[in-house]
Chain A
């Protein structure tokens, strides 16, 4: 093809850069519009005392994808032979094709490397959308991928649906005071999903798919001086029962009582934003819009008024609030509302359990 010079070519625009449009042309004609199909996900893995597993948040997004679309699902996974038992899980949760990235240099997480790989895979597969669980690492690589592919990304979605082939994404803004619904007009459409919001689907026993082994040498590798696991990871997101303390708890010594009761009934202790800000609890124990989203069977809210930002983090089967103010917003939002002194009730529970 001959050199086009600067823009006044009658065969149309050869530039994909929106800034350099021929005179009179209003927007770029994007051939990519309708051909993307399927969803690409990053199957993040975590290691716990039982070995490697798929991060629970990934199973959540797979469940959601299955409910909104019948198209093919592709997953990228890294690691070596210890990953093989996980194929089954991915297939059972709806993945059709697994791209297992096999390269020594890809076994340690590096954001640029993983993003480059995912972007490269996306160019190859040409999916309609890329959906990544909004875990700490997911939220790091998703925008790297989006910027590399020059497409839009909607972060921390709490709702997804499909309308006329377009992914409709809803996310909270302004600390949760507002819900914004967003669409993307470029392909692939990208979203990260807030963990704890969706539920995994029932695994389809015996379902299988294809595994493609793929080599990949990343351009950028991180110079990691050292890496350590954080000990005592008190994780409230897996708890079946949560005892949650709020600003109505005036005395810090109540925390000890709550921890005791929790240990006896198989619960964990979480808190509202106010107590995290006071320094009574680490941020990782905070439930709410700017904290964690939790989905226990029972959520016991002691001395919590029930602001919308706090309630946004609770997807419990049953909410019981313990408060001395019957007009607190949380009462209308709970299954049971116990009116009384939260600290005294915890003390009474402790006495009962001590016997």
Chain B
């Protein structure tokens, strides 16, 4: 008996606060359950939308009719292996936080040895290990992370989720379960013809140029002679359902988290620019004055969010491995009106977690604000940019954001991964008129970022709300090729329809 809830209202929404509708939700416990549900979907011809913890911000798991398939029960860590480095096998709804805690305490429960003696070896190993991709949404599922190729502040140094997934167990819509390790199945040019344990997979992948010079999560990843696993990573649920994900982990080194405050926006941006050239932080996160004001307003009574200084200020958040760099940092800060005294600093795990919560409170305040508007503006959803450009075009892009938004008289905050020239520009919407204007601005930004050699969706993915970007980036031909690939792998067109492309 597969668990089923007919009242699926709480499953019809994700963090973008866009609301869909569904007839109910299935909650499978294993591969067999999933195959059973897929079979029913094919025979009875209904749509399935897969969800993890619903922390996505593009509506990727929001259903437009049909049923929801929630992977919430599949939340165990399954095994550990060693292959010139440790890797962990997890079920899709293991969260980033859960994995972080388990790796830290080495309390992994009763897990399998994926290579002989790996678990014992790991436990006996005195060194500490961690999983470096740290989206600030720590309740996000690893399945969701793999499906959207999620990134976090540390992507500056470690790359996105793609660089860390070394194996996937995926169920295709026809019910076939495939285990795809990295490094085994390759395309020849743009064509796959591979045999996976007896199952023959023949596919043509899109011919467009997928930009890897900048952070890019727009569209299906495709390259000449690519690895099959990379087709699934970042595919936003179009090609199959992940049953387990293998991720590599690396040795942990002590880090000190720091947040430095500056008198205005430009000083913080200048500080970041010099930091990139003169020091080697793990990541560089930017908060403009407006975003700090937002945190101050929204969370003054929340004991879990540390309170920013009372006076108006911008901030830069970075992690440091080497304390000797503080001398240089002090110098750079003083060039722009900052100092070592006007800062927060800690190497303690809990303090650092609190600083990460602070970082996350900015987008969270915006999510909650938008959610509160939904009462009288049901069509509204969060409008945040997710555009990245190459280093040398960064100043130009920042100036463009400001010009366009100011000329449209919109209120906004800017924060995020300046290390990757990938800030989030969040528009504070007041009414549906603002919403319409915001959409206009975002279109302009998307086109500009592409023009400057960047990507309009650097980490959030496309989901259901940014489907316009696909044609913008890859043309109508690119869009068509993605749809064809989708039809090949999902002939009945039952899985996550509406994500990335609207057929």
Q: Which residues of A contact B (CB under 8 A)?
A: 250, 277-279, 324, 326, 340-341, 344
- Contact between chains at A344 and B301 (CB < 8 Å): no
Question: Which chain B residues in 225-252 approach chain A with CB under 8 Å?
Answer: none
Q: How far is the CA of A279 from the CA of B304 in the complex (A)?
A: 9
| Closest-CB distance, B350 to chain A (whole angstroms) | 13
Can you spell out 16 A-B residue pairs with CB atoms less than 8 angstroms apart? Answer: A250-B10, A277-B303, A277-B304, A278-B302, A278-B304, A279-B301, A279-B302, A279-B303, A279-B304, A324-B5, A326-B3, A340-B7, A341-B7, A341-B9, A341-B10, A344-B7
Chain B interfacial residues counted at CB < 8 A: 9
A277–B303 alpha-carbon span in the complex (Å): 8
Q: Which residues of A contact B301 (CB under 8 A)?
A: 279
Bound together, the chains give a CA A344 to CA B7 distance in angstroms of 10
The dominant DSSP class at the B interface is loop
Residues of B within 8 A of A277 (CB): 303-304
Alpha-carbon gap, A277 to B302, bound state (A)? 10
* Distance of A340 Cα from B303 Cα, bound (Å): 31
- What chain B residues lie within 8 Å of A250 (beta carbons)? 10
- Interfacial chain A residues near B7, Cβ < 8 Å: 340-341, 344
| Least CB separation from B301: chain A residue | A279
**CB-CB nearest in chain A for B73:** A327
Determine how close the nearest CB of chain B comes to the CB of A8; give it in whole angstroms: 52
Shortest Cβ distance from residue B14 to the other chain A in the assembled complex, whole angstroms? 13
Residue ID in chain B nearest A339 by CB atoms: B5
Hey, which chain B residues are within 8 Å of A340, CB to CB? 7
When C-beta atoms are compared, the residue in chain B nearest to A344 turns out to be B7
Complex Cα spacing A279 to B299, Å: 11
Residue of A nearest to B3 (CB): A326
8 Å CB interface, B1-49 against A: 3, 5, 7, 9-10
Name 11 extra pairs, CB < 8 A, besides A277-B304, A340-B7.
Answer: A250-B10, A277-B303, A278-B304, A279-B301, A279-B302, A279-B303, A279-B304, A326-B3, A341-B7, A341-B10, A344-B7
A324 to B9, CA, bound (A): 13
Bound-complex Cα distance A344 to B10 (A): 11
Provide the bound-state CA to CA distance between A324 and B3, in Å: 11
B9 to chain A, nearest CB (A): 8
- Which B residues are in CB contact (< 8 Å) with A324? 5
Which residues of A have CB within 8 Å of B5? 324
Q: Mark B300-316, 1 if CB is under 8 A from A, else 0.
A: 01111000000000000
Q: How far is the CA of A279 from the CA of B300 in the complex (A)?
A: 12
A175 shortest CB reach to chain B, Å:
16
On chain A, the residues within 8 Å of B10 by CB distance are: 250, 341
Collect the chain A residues with CB atoms within 8 Å of residue B9's CB: 341
Give the CA-CA distance A344 to B303 in the complex, in Å: 28
Taken together as a complex, chains A and B put the C-alpha atoms of A326 and B10 apart, in Å, by 17
Q: A311 to B302, alpha carbons, bound, how many Å? A: 27
Q: Which residue of A lies closest to B302 (CB)?
A: A279
In the complex, what's the smallest C-beta–C-beta distance from B76 to chain A, in angstroms? 13
Contact with A along B305-342 (1 / 0, CB 8 A): 00000000000000000000000000000000000000
Q: How far is the CA of A136 from the CA of B301 in the complex (A)?
A: 27
Q: Which residue in chain B gives the minimum CB-CB distance to A279?
A: B303
Of chain B, the residue at the smallest CB distance from A327 is B73
Cα of A341 to Cα of B7 in the assembled complex, Å? 9
Report B36-80 CB contacts with A as 1/0, cut-off 8 Å.
Answer: 000000000000000000000000000000000000000000000
Name the residue of chain A whose CB is nearest to the CB of B371.
A251
Set of chain A residues within 8 Å of B3, measured between Cβ atoms: 326
Closest B residue to A341 by beta carbon equals: B7
Distance in angstroms from B347 CB to nearest chain A CB is 24
B-side contacts of A344, CB under 8 Å: 7
A101 to chain B, nearest CB (A): 42
How far does the Cβ of A332 sit from chain B's closest Cβ, in whole Å?
17
In the assembled complex, the CB of B424 is this many whole angstroms from the nearest CB of chain A, namely 24
Q: Which residue of B has the minimal Cβ distance to A343?
A: B10
CA distance in complex: A278, B303 (Å)? 7
Which A residues lie within 8 Å of B304 (CB)?
Answer: 277-279
A175 to B83, CA, bound (A): 40
Chain B nearest Cβ from A227, distance in angstroms? 28
Residues on A with C-beta less than 8 A from B302 are: 278-279
Quote the shortest CB–CB distance from B368 to chain A (angstroms): 11
A279: chain B residues at CB < 8 Å are 301-304
Closest to B5 in A: A324
In Å, the complex CA distance between A250 and B368 comes to: 13
State how many angstroms separate the Cβ of B25 from the closest Cβ of chain A. Answer: 10
**Across the interface, which residues of B come within 8 angstroms of A341, CB to CB?**
7, 9-10
**Distance between Cα atoms of A279 and B10 in the complex (Å):** 23
Q: Which residues on the A side are within 8 Å of B303 (C-beta)?
A: 277, 279
Closest CB in chain B relative to A331 CB, distance in Å: 14
Q: Which of B10, B302, B304 has the most CB of A within 10 A?
A: B10
Distance from B33 Cβ to chain A, minimum over Cβ atoms (Å):
14
In the complex, residue of chain B having the shortest beta-carbon distance to the beta carbon of A324: B5
In whole angstroms, how far apart are the Cα atoms of A326 and B9 in the complex? 18
Bound Cα distance A344, B301 (Å)? 27
Task: Give Cα A278–Cα B5 distance, bound, in whole angstroms.
Answer: 29
CB distance from B383 to the nearest CB of A (A): 23
B334 to chain A, nearest CB (A): 38
Please, which residue of chain B has its CB at the minimum distance from the CB of A326?
B3
Instruction: Report the separation of the CA atoms of residues A277 and B304 in the bound assembly, to the nearest whole angstrom.
Output: 8
- Docked CA distance A324–B8 (Å): 11
- Chain B, residues 474-488, CB within 8 Å of chain A (1/0): the string is 000000000000000
Closest to A250 in B: B10
A324 vs B27: C-alpha distance when bound (angstroms): 12
Min CB–CB distance B203 → chain A (angstroms): 39
